[in-house]
Structure 1
Amino acid sequence: MNVNYSNNNAEESACKVTETICLPDSDLPRVVIIGGGFAGLALTEKLKHKEIQVILIDKNNFHQFQPLLYQVATSALEPDSIVFPFRKQFNGYKNVVFRLAEVEEIQASSNIIVTDKGTVEYDYLVLATGTTTNFFGMENVEQNSLGMKDIRDSLNIRHLMLQNLEQAAITCDDDERDALTNFVIVGGGPAGVEMAGALAEFCKYILPKDYPEYPSSIMNIYLIEAIDELLSTMSEKASTKTLKYLKDLDVKVLFNESVSDYDGSIVTTKSGKTIFAKNLIWTAGVKGQFPKGIDEKHVVKGNRIRTGSFLMVEGYENIFAIGDIAAIITNETPKGHPQVAQTAIQQGKYLGNSLLKIINDEAVKPFEYKDKGSLATVGKRKAVADLGKFKFAGYFAWLLWSIVHLMSISGFRNRLMVGFNWAVSYFTYEKSNRLIIRNFKPKSSVNNPKK
């Protein structure tokens, strides 16, 4: 039997047979938000305590701070330092309800979404579903490599790295040892650059202590970029400085190269080069992810949903898209706005104000993105910053990067944990406990156990 409960009084509730997923009974306009990333969370925060019923639906019960995923992957931070439970975040928000479910379909004609747990009706629907790793149709690469889009990916990278380093200490085969200790990172954007820098510091400062069986020089790190510069969305100065920092850390940067195949042991590039490596981390691209039900004619390059300047999905009157999934295509933004956290947060806050005005039949102004600058780090005391006309690198850029990221993490406890770990690492280069909690196997090994 399908039930629903009334929550007009927190202590008393009555059940009604109305919806499959049980929700508090309310006469307020209902805004359903799919996805609790930066955009969805910013929107929820903007609508808290307002005369609106907010339903946040996510397949995870936590928000994750994606800019620091690479530090979890390299044992610099523990996973619980950068994730924060939604229910703790929303404690005291009387008009906000969280439901753990995965949305499968949007039935726009009847204002219903279908999840793996049941259906939910909405007055206004907001898609904040973000992106997933884009392997550009290369099945072998997808099966044998690892993306870095959520906390599970980071833990998979960590476990695979430690497993391979342990196996390298066991094997007597020199070629096998080389492959186990070679790391290839594909993509020279912020995620790839930061991952390469963190791995290089792990190799320089942790490997000699943990694995005295072999020299740290055995661990080779390759960064492959398809064009002729790193951090292509930042300034030329940032790109040049980043390249210098990586070379100082002995990272081998390959420009104008792209991966064409990877079988789990051999990386093949389009130019014909081969690299023996059992560790390949893919940061070369993303694509939008959202449930079926949106007309394909409104989907643009990168699997993003085209919206108007008010973030309303084209062709719909009460469906909006924000964050990485949204694409406002104009002469000024022919490719949409950048898929970064500051865009998502600004759009979430903007839509929160806009929805309140729409509900009250007030005029709404178009969304205007304000670029607050870009930051990227390449290890301790090494970072680059583009802040409008000010472009600088080095210690001050790294300090600014640290402060901005630390203050952006959800929860005082999480900020304290991250700050403490960074302080310890600053003086000792020590990482968190390098534990193999579970045996990780790539997709190819799971799908083909004989391989």
Structure 2
Amino acid sequence: MDTNLPVTTQPRIVIIGCGFAGLRLAKDLADAPVQVVVIDRNNYHNFQPLLYQVATGALEADSIAYPIRKIFAGQPNFFFRMADVQQVDHARNTLITNIGEIRYDHLVIATGSLTNYFGLESIERNAMQIKSVPNALNLRSYLFQNFEKALLCENPVQRQALMNVVVVGGGPTGVEICGSLAEMRKDVLPQDYPELDLKQMEIYLVESGGEVLGPMSKYAQDKAKAYLEEMGIHIRLNTKAARFEDGKLYYSDTEFLRTENLIWAAGVNGAAVEGLPAEVVAKNKRINVDTINRVMGSRNVYAIGDVANLVTEEMPRGYPMLAPVAIQQAEQLAANFKRLLAGEALQPFKYFNKGSMAIVGRNRAVVDLPGDRHFGGFLGWLTWLFVHLMTLVGFRNKAVTLVSWAISYFSSDKALRLIIRPYKRHDFKDDKGKTNAQQNASTPEYNPPVPAPNAAVVGG
């Protein structure tokens, strides 16, 4: 019991997950008379907004990841256990993990989000995602492996599929990776693969809605779309992916885009944990919480960040799954824990919107600020760089990232084009750690309709 955690008379606050929310909460409780226990399946904090730069060779993985134990070195009330949480036993105030049981006085679920494939099983089995450092490294390897294959391929149709990239999802992640791929096509790949005609490489952005960057302003949407088109990205709006097989992404029974490189950035679900009452878990797997981020019907279980579904009159669909929301919820919950210990009334969560932004490429970014203020271009790009650089954890990560960006800006080069561990689709691991083979073993056989003999071919 308790996996060798020190016995304490102080309240024990157990936090599941060390993303933006879990990290901030644990740090803000440094001076509180509590024992803080963080549980995560990884021993590092991962800065997700820059994963796409790892995937496209702009940054190395250790530039955006930082050891959890090093972050909290010198915080005497902090303890970390690397483990997978299997179930919450709220009747016994106990977590069941793969390393044993851990008792809690207060439990905070900050597990973040998982990729949502909307029931498209062939895409879930075969597409690439960018939700973790291993995902990003796999994607980087896979892209360059396919270019190596393209050099050897004599069939022009197959060669085209190996070079084409389709990104599904027109949110910030989809827009940002498309821009990064376009810059790589222009400045990097011609140096490495002079034997290939890179003008034939097509990059598609597929979005089911009517605009890119849907949650942002009309200014940002139009500006980002114009930037993408300037960079040679083919944008397909109001287009829903249907299935992905044999190097083809179908968006109707007969129409498809030919590619071996499908990147899925179309949606996320909350990463709810097992053991909670079914009625508190929403359809999108987020956990319903009240205004103090306490799980509905619970006395001592809370949820913050992407996994928390806090519905208010102002936010009838819940707060957006964004890092600023997660950080502010963590700060508010830490303050409420201190109020609880002092016997004071708890305060409801109120979100202060500081704005949103997205980068498309060098000197191309869009920024929305409160008060209906918007700007883009070089100033937007500098703003994006500054905010993300300051949000990175650790001085070393900030310094290495700044140097990498400076070299990339002045040399138009991305040096990290390494295939360190060759990737195979059946080696893919999802957000829950399952390989494709394990997924397929537990998934009913998927039998897609056979396309008509005269199926329309788009993109080569």
Deviates more, 1:296-305 or 1:413-422: 296-305
Query: In structure 2, which of residues 315, 336, 347 is the aligned counterpart of residue 365 of structure 1?
Result: 347
Q: Does 1:291 align with 2:268?
A: no
Matches within 5 A, 1:322-333: 322-333=304-315
Residue 67 (structure 1) shift? 0.3
Contact 1:132–1:149, Cα closer than 8 Å, also in 2: yes
Aligned partner of 2:123: which letter? V
SS at match of 2:129: coil
The residue that corresponds to 2:32 in the other structure is: 50
Distance 1:73 1:419 in 2: 18
Residue 356 (structure 1) shift? 1.2
Aligned partner of 1:392: which letter? F
| TM-score between the two structures when normalised by the length of structure 1 | 0.94
- Unmatched 5+ stretches in structure 2: 429-435, 441-460
Residues 187-227 of structure 1 deviation map (CA, whole Å, 9 limit, x = unaligned): 00000000000000000110110100012212110000001
The residue that corresponds to 1:148 in the other structure is: 130
Q: Does 1:240 align with 2:222?
A: yes
Contact 1:194–1:379, Cα closer than 8 Å, also in 2: yes
Residues 420-447 of structure 1 deviation map (CA, whole Å, 9 limit, x = unaligned): 0000011111113311111101138963
Matches within 5 A, 1:304-319: 304-319=286-301
Query: In structure 2, which of residues 405, 417, 427 is the aligned counterpart of residue 422 of structure 1?
Result: 405
Residue 139 (structure 1) shift? 1.1
Aligned partner of 2:397: which letter? N
Distance 2:297 2:194 in 1: 62
Distance 1:270 1:65 in 2: 36
Q: Does 1:394 align with 2:359?
A: no
Distance 2:104 2:332 in 1: 20
Query: In structure 2, which of residues 328, 334, 348 is the aligned counterpart of residue 352 of structure 1?
Result: 334
Distance 1:39 1:382 in 2: 29
Distance 1:398 1:139 in 2: 37
Residue 299 (structure 1) shift? 1.3
Distance 1:37 1:272 in 2: 42
Distance 2:415 2:113 in 1: 29
Q: Does 1:438 align with 2:397?
A: no
Q: Does 1:138 align with 2:117?
A: no
SS at match of 2:128: coil
The residue that corresponds to 1:128 in the other structure is: 110
SS at match of 2:15: strand
Distance 1:126 1:392 in 2: 37
| TM-score between the two structures when normalised by the length of structure 2 | 0.92
Aligned partner of 1:118: which letter? G
Q: Does 1:262 align with 2:244?
A: yes
The residue that corresponds to 1:176 in the other structure is: 158
Residues 17-50 of structure 1 deviation map (CA, whole Å, 9 limit, x = unaligned): xx25110121110000000000000101100132
The residue that corresponds to 1:104 in the other structure is: 86
Aligned partner of 2:424: which letter? K
Distance 1:279 1:242 in 2: 23
Distance 1:272 1:287 in 2: 30
The residue that corresponds to 2:389 in the other structure is: 406
- Percent of aligned positions that are identical: 43
Residue 89 (structure 1) shift? 0.3
SS at match of 1:204: helix
The residue that corresponds to 1:91 in the other structure is: 73
The residue that corresponds to 1:282 in the other structure is: 264
The residue that corresponds to 2:448 in the other structure is: none
The residue that corresponds to 2:18 in the other structure is: 36
SS at match of 1:109: coil
SS at match of 1:368: coil
Residues 375-399 of structure 1 deviation map (CA, whole Å, 9 limit, x = unaligned): 1000111000001121011000000
Aligned partner of 2:378: which letter? Y
Contact 1:141–1:261, Cα closer than 8 Å, also in 2: yes
- Unmatched 5+ stretches in structure 1: 1-18
Residue 359 (structure 1) shift? 2.3
Distance 1:193 1:185 in 2: 9
Contact 1:145–1:264, Cα closer than 8 Å, also in 2: no
Contact 1:143–1:444, Cα closer than 8 Å, also in 2: no
Distance 1:270 1:362 in 2: 58
Distance 1:435 1:30 in 2: 44
Contact 2:59–2:416, Cα closer than 8 Å, also in 1: no
Deviates more, 1:193-202 or 1:284-293: 284-293
RMSD over aligned Cα atoms: 1.2
Aligned partner of 2:305: which letter? G
Aligned partner of 1:159: which letter? S
Residues 292-329 of structure 1 deviation map (CA, whole Å, 9 limit, x = unaligned): 11111111131110100000000100000000000111
Matches within 5 A, 1:148-227: 148-227=130-209
Distance 2:323 2:185 in 1: 29
Residue 137 (structure 1) shift? 1.2
SS at match of 1:21: helix
Distance 1:344 1:443 in 2: 34
Distance 1:204 1:100 in 2: 42
Distance 1:82 1:235 in 2: 28
Aligned partner of 1:425: which letter? S
Sort the Cα spacing of 1:20 and 1:353 in 2 relative to 1 into closer, same or farther, 3 A. closer
What is the aligned length? 430
Deviates more, 1:261-270 or 1:100-109: 261-270
Aligned partner of 1:412: which letter? F
Residue 289 (structure 1) shift? 1.2
Residue 271 (structure 1) shift? 6.9
Contact 1:78–1:432, Cα closer than 8 Å, also in 2: no
Distance 2:140 2:186 in 1: 17
Aligned partner of 1:101: which letter? A
Residue 347 (structure 1) shift? 0.5
Deviates more, 1:267-276 or 1:137-146: 267-276
